[in-house]
Chains A and B, each alone.
Chain A
Amino acid sequence: MRIHLTSAFVDDQEKALRFYTEVLGFVKKHDVPLGEDRWLTVVSAEEPDGTQLLLEPSRHPVVAAYKTGLAADGIPAVSFAVDNVHAEFDRLRGLGVQFTQEPLEMGQVTTAVLDDTCGNLIQIVHSK
């Protein structure tokens, strides 16, 4: 069994698509109209057949409380692997991305946490 798809609840799918592709560097995989919303997934440019991230609309009534609670305590909704957290931190901050946790060395792992502008915190991580 492998992870096929995981999801993040986004406030605005179009805005999320721009952030996840133009800023983070993912590539759009599926974009299927579903009434007011879309079945919208992105994948890593390095792994087009890898795990998809579904940019899921935040419309369901319980989602707001979930997102507000996680954000207040700085808890990431999802985690992405990068080659070098410090380099990504510099690159993304240069693009105006806000971080709630600057790069932090934790033994074998380095992490940072950023705001995806759609209501989520995203952790980036690399291992030594």
Chain B
Amino acid sequence: MTSYIINLLVLICVNATLAVTLNFIMGYAGIFSLAHAIFFGIGSYVAAYVALHFTGSLLVILPAAMLISALVGLALALPALRVRGEYFVAASLGLQVIGVTVFSEWKSVTGGIGGVMGFPPASLPGLSFESPTAFLIWSVVMLVLILLAINTLLHSSFGRNLQAIRDSESAALAYGKNVAMIKTLSVVFSSALAATAGVVYAFYMSFVNVESFTLDTSVLVMAMVIIGGTGTIWGPLVGAVLLMLIPSLTSYIPGLPQTEVGSIQQIIYGAAMVLLMIFRPGGIMGGKHGGVK
């Protein structure tokens, strides 16, 4: 395989992990968050910081990244428990804006706008992740593990409670479900899993910078989930593959100046979001009237 294809596949896996974890709260809990890039960022910064100052061992880094991300996830769970719809979108947007400011201003930890670099490669006992192929295997394994974890959870009583809350919160309450606890756990779980994508990404790029964790990233991940199909198993994967392929495909359009490729790509996914919402709100893998209410 050429390095170009390996690179694309690793990035697809990282983005698919983000889309799958976002879909978990969007599609199954009805919590529509625009702050997912923050948890991705926390994973990356924790990985870079721990690797630079302590150890490159993933046995330390992965739990640390997931724990810190889960704690920040609690901050997002607070408004999710109190308000819905437009208020929650605004609250998550707030967390996103505040997070980016902290990422770019907390210079001693995040390196400010310049970012963090020069940290040692990731390692597991007996393994070191340095070749592109090693990263590809690692990112695929992570994605599969997360898919399995989420699938298991969705088929447990916790998952059924979650979907019951999405469909009717008052009915779930009336049945004596602890709505607050279930919602909080789902947000915390999603945040912790999103951080693992950040860890892979940080070591893969061997460079961490706030540019990767802005509102644009949150919107891109949201677009993957929506275009693929909210609340479906395959939707976020299909969305991630499609949106990651668009930049490569647009580079084959003849006569298109290289400087405009980024814009064309954004226009394509913006337009896809509009057209899908009009004609197929459930996304490519979803039903005609599916999706989150």
Asked if A and B are interacting partners, one says no
List chain B positions with a Cβ less than 8 A from chain A: none
